Amino acid sequence: MSGTPIVLADPPGPRGRRRILISSIVALAVIAGLITLALLRLADHGQLDGELWSVFVDQPDLRTLLWNGLLDTLRAALTAMVFAVVLGVALAMARMSRHRAVRIPATAVVELFRSLPVLMLILFAYLGLPALGWKLSAFWALVLGLTAYNGAVISEIFRAGIASIDRGQTEAAAALGLRPVQVFRLIQFPQAVRRMSPTLISQLVTLLKDTSLGFVIAYSELLRSGRGAVEFLGSRYALPIYTAIAVIYIVTNSLLSALARWLDRRQNRRLGGGHAQLPLDAATAAGAPPAAAVPEQGGSGGTLT
């Protein structure tokens, strides 16, 4: 049953494929026409003149400003990514606990942070915490807001990945004598990371883009650096500068996605590309006594104590 592919809809027939082809051609033609119209309008207003776009060559200080803004963006994003992943793993473990005293508060924290806008969390960290006696710099206020929101989302990603693991694996691990925390560390968590890596990387890309919200608390990230350059050079340079910023974001996110795909391929080659098996050698190394194998059964992953 597990090897049977799930078909959500019948494949289109010859007439359906022809309709799809025609609609795709029409959509591409409309998009090409809109792009051409936009370029013509920009050319009429002088926005495509070489003088405007040579500003990156003529103004070395502009390149330095955007480079420093990119470094500040990456610094905030990487710091928030590390903290968000750690917080996500901790909340996922807490939400899977059998103890209500642990599970209920963790659930409340996750639902609270997920329901609030990221900007509100950033503003609370920057403006609200000083009223309580905790003053944070713009960098740490941005990191704290991003960590709170994305940590809650990442915890649900990990929890969904763990729930997709066959219950038979956790039952077999329990029969081998592994404690629940060892089951999570040796069996559930590695498989959850592999299964949910596309969703996880997508959320980290979103976190990287959300660093632009540091603009509102005067953090010198890439977008704010570009805004400062536009104010200094004049609004006629807005299109080249903001286009360059957009390209930088696209390239950075593409590199992050490419890194994730490379890591996934490398791990698949290392593990043989097949379904993950219960690591008996890891169980033995963890101090579990040898036991008979337990047949795998359907169902979702278990809970933690």
Instruction: Let me know if residue 48 belongs to a domain.
Output: no
DSSP for 155-181, written as a single string: HHHHHHHHHTS-HHHHHHHHHTT--HH
More confident residue, 177 or 273: 177
pLDDT at position 297 is 42
Domain total in the chain: 1
* Residue 127 belongs to domain with CATH number: 1.10.3720.10
pLDDT-derived band at 272 (thresholds 50, 70, 90) equals low
Dist. CA 66–CA 113, nearest whole Å? 32
Instruction: Let me know if residue 162 belongs to a domain.
Output: yes
Across 173-200, average pLDDT: 78
Q: How many helices (H) and strands (E) would you count in the chain?
A: 14, 0
Both tokens of 160, joined, read: 């969904």
Percent of the chain with pLDDT over 70: 85
What letter does residue 128 receive in the DSSP assignment?
I
Instruction: Let me know if residue 21 belongs to a domain.
Output: no
Instruction: Let me know if residue 292 belongs to a domain.
Output: no
Instruction: Let me know if residue 42 belongs to a domain.
Output: no
| 16 has pLDDT over 90 | no
The boundaries of the domain holding residue 199 are 58-274
Dist. CA 302–CA 162, nearest whole Å? 8
Instruction: Let me know if residue 73 belongs to a domain.
Output: yes
Range of 3-17, 103-117, 270-284 with top mean pLDDT: 103-117
pLDDT at position 83 is 96
> In terms of Cα–Cα distance, which of 157, 162, 128, 169 is closest to 145?
128
Compute the CA torsion angle 246, 247, 251, 252 (nearest 10 deg).
-40
- Residue 74 one-letter amino acid: L
Instruction: Let me know if residue 11 belongs to a domain.
Output: no
| 174 has pLDDT over 80 | no
- Residue 126 one-letter amino acid: Y
Instruction: Let me know if residue 5 belongs to a domain.
Output: no
Across 42-63, average pLDDT: 83
